Amino acid sequence: MFKSYIWSLPTRVFHWLFALLILLAFLTDDDDLLNYHAVIGYAVLILLAFRVVWGYLGPKYSKFKDFPLSMNNVKEFMFNIFNSEQKYIGHNSPASYVMITMFVVIFLVIITGALTFGIQEGKGIFSFLNDSFFRKMELFEDLHEFFANFLVILIVAHIIGVLTDKLVHGKHQTLNSIFTGYKQTLEENSIKLTIFHKLIAFIFLLAFIAFLVFNLMQPKNILIASKYEPIDYMVQNELFVNECGACHTLYPPHSLPRHSWVSMMNDLENHFGDDASLEEEENQNILNFLVQNSAETSTQEMSFKISKSIGNKDIIAITQTSFWKNEHKKIPKEVFEHNEVKSKANCKACHSDIEKGLIEDDKIKNINAFL
Ligand code: HEC
Ligand code: HEC
């Protein structure tokens, strides 16, 4: 047996950064961490771009053309699967299939993620698509989740593959090789990086670091910028602010559909146990304002999903919708009983910009503050 250098430093650094960032992407899959999630997605895209370039111009064994993908290779591998002497120096056949599929699926995860971010949240480089496609926001989110789940299956397959290999072909040291770069092979097969290889790796490393530094220094950059502007309701309708913000959070008009506002404003005497009734003229003024700016006039996720959740039902509370319940189901009951919250309807305790008509992900209060 020979000790051959198979995986160059750039290949190994790529592997571990890729694994780390994908793990981080799964860990930040929460509304309040969505901006980080998006930036991580773009960072993975840079790594993926490196890997594709490396797959064409990189050293032997990292090149896609050295992946043993042919049917003969697959058959050969299967017939000799229990033979501890493996002739594959780089990836074996099943591993090659898993790698290629993984690269394609990760690309699809990132693209559908960026589209969902633009269409559903109105954020990032695809936020311009929100106006035309917001009615399809759930489709894009579903696609993103589908590919992310597919990716989990591939990661599991990869790990099972590595462990099986360790068990059956352990003497080749494949698992160690992703740390050290060296495998035990039947012949001497070491690679050596050319100056051109090193240049490619260096440029991508620089781009990757520059990207991270840029995001740290400019956290509000175009990749996560929101298309929605804060609304000053005091300028738009002072009466609405004074009357409807007196007892509780000023719920934005686009947080409920037209028919909910109509039925609420028709019965202000019995308003959730309070009498909030108004002069006829004031009532009409506020109702007009609410109807002109109701959920139907907005492309925001909140508006679309609350409306959809209410449908034709006679619901006049946001907190009664299945959408609201679902979004907040992970929050323990004690949080809503906390002194600074007191009620589910006290949105502004956790969404500091709701009275400006926004529910920005990065403004959601960390609920651990209430535990
Ligand atoms: C006299 C006090 C008072 C005034 C004035 C008032 N409300 Fe309310 N409102 C309440 C109370 C109390 C609740 C129930 C809050 C809770 O569940 O914690 C409520 C609940 C609501 C809810 C449901 C919140 C949810 O999703 O659970 C909406 C929407 C609402 N009010 C809109 C309005 C509008 C619009 C106006 C102005 C026309 C208004 N309110 C004026 C007392 C008031
Ligand atoms: C105790 C704190 C708390 C209160 C009160 C609260 N929320 Fe939330 N809300 C959260 C948290 C935390 C999340 C994020 C959940 C997650 O990460 O999955 C959230 C998520 C949301 C989302 C989804 C955001 C997105 O981008 O997908 C909407 C919309 C929302 N809340 C609206 C409201 C409204 C309207 C009210 C008041 C009627 C309200 N919330 C009251 C804590 C709160």
User: Is the Cβ–Cβ distance between 46 and 211 less than 8 Å?
Assistant: yes
Cβ atoms 118, 128 nearer than 8 A: yes
Cβ count within 10 A of residue 60: 15
Ligand 1 within 6 A of CB of 196? no
Token reading at 97: 């299939």
Specify the amino acid at residue 200.
I
> Cα–chain-centroid distance for residue 106?
12
Look at residues 119, 115, 365 and name the one whose alpha carbon lies nearest to residue 227. Answer: 119
Residue type, 82: F
- CA 158, distance to chain mean position in Å, is 22
Residue 88 has what pLDDT? 83
Cβ–Cβ < 8 Å for 280, 259: no
Please choose from 236, 260, 271 the residue to mutate so as to test ligand 1's pocket, defined by most ligand atoms within 8 A of CB. Answer: 271
Q: How far, in Å, is the centroid of ligand 1 from the Cα of 247?
A: 7
User: 20-56: string of b/e by CB count within 10 Å (b at 16+)?
Assistant: ebbebbeebeeebbbbbbbbbbbbbbbbbebbeebbe
Query: Is the separation of the CB atoms in 55 and 62 below 8 Å?
Result: yes
First and final CA of the chain: distance in angstroms? 60
Q: Is 328 in the pocket of ligand 2 (CB under 6 A)?
A: yes
Tokens of residue 3, six digits? 């000790």
Residue of the nearest CA to atom 33 in ligand 2? 347
Distance 51 CA to ligand 1 centre (A): 55
Distance 187 CA to ligand 2 centre (A): 61
Supply the pLDDT for residue 208: 98
CA–centroid distance for 212 within its chain: 17
Sequence-distant (≥ 6) Cβ neighbours of residue 143 within 8 angstroms: 108, 112, 116
Biggest distance spanned by C-alpha atoms of the chain: 93
CA distance 79 to 74: 9
User: pLDDT by residue for the chain (371 residues), tens digit each?
Assistant: 888 999 999 999 999 999 999 999 999 998 889 999 999 999 999 999 999 999 999 999 999 999 999 899 889 888 888 888 887 888 989 999 999 999 999 999 999 999 999 999 999 999 999 999 999 999 999 999 999 999 999 999 999 999 998 898 888 888 888 999 998 888 888 999 999 999 999 999 999 999 999 999 998 899 999 999 999 999 999 999 999 999 999 999 999 999 999 999 999 999 999 999 999 999 999 999 999 999 999 999 999 999 999 999 999 999 999 999 999 999 999 999 999 999 999 999 999 999 999 998 888 898 888 88
